[in-house]
Amino acid sequence: MNENNLTHFDAAGNAVMVDVSAKPVTTREATAHGIITMNAEAFAAVQSGTVKKGDVLGVARIAGIMATKRTSELIPLCHPLPLTKVSIEFRLLPKQQAVEALCTVKTAGVTGVEMEALTGVSTALLTIYDMCKAVDKGMELGEIHLVEKTGGKSGHYIRAEGGYV
């Protein structure tokens, strides 16, 4: 894709915030995924709830939700959105010594919520790192990606099927 096809640039090549005022309001939802892997000691502490800093997954959930609401302050040219739903789900993966996170964000608006979902899942994983770093500084965040999005001009996207449906 060349610069002329990017919506965040004007005819002169200057970065701009896209004018979405003429777009129709639609229901938009996006889900992002990520994983944090850790050593056995850190995983056992998260799993048993014995991390000295407190409830790791509870705090990470709140941090992820808070981050979705601040995405437009963190990502240049991102529109502030009135979010109507944010959920962060965790699944412990004992064989991988990992925590999997999913962040789902919903709004009724004129632009999508992919960036909010990606910001939420990333922040939730970073919070897990922060709360567990005394036990394992070698934790690794990975597999952060958009799983699915609905609504808007570009249609329905599902990553597992390799594209838009």
- C-alpha to C-alpha distance for 100 and 91, rounded to whole angstroms: 5
Q: What is the pLDDT of residues 1-35, one digit of tens each?
A: 334 455 767 788 887 777 787 788 889 999 999 99
CB atoms within 10 A of CB 77: 12
DSSP string over the chain: --GGG-TTB-TTS-B-----TTSPPEEEEEEEEEEEE--HHHHHHHHHT--TT--HHHHHHHHHHHHHTTHHHHSTTPPP--EEEEEEEEEEEGGGTEEEEEEEEEEEESS--HHHHHHHHHHHHHHHHHHHTTT-TT-EEEEEEEEEEE-STT--EEGGGTEE-
Task: Round to whole Å and give the CA distance between 97 and 112.
Answer: 33
Report the interhelical angle of 114-132 vs 56-68 (nearest 10°). 150
Give the global pTM: 0.88
Instruction: Give pLDDT, residue 160.
Output: 73
Output the known binding site.
77-79, 115-116
Annotated binding site for substrate: 77-79, 115-116
* Predicted local distance difference test score (pLDDT) of residue 19: 78
| 130 has catalytic annotation | yes
pLDDT tens for residues 36-75?
999 999 999 999 999 999 999 999 999 999 999 999 999 9
Strand pairing class (26-37; 98-109)? antiparallel
Q: What is the pLDDT of residues 97-114, one digit of tens each?
A: 999 999 999 999 888 899
Average pLDDT over residues 152-162: 81
Residues listed for the chain = 165
* Catalytic hit among 10, 55, 130, 136: 130
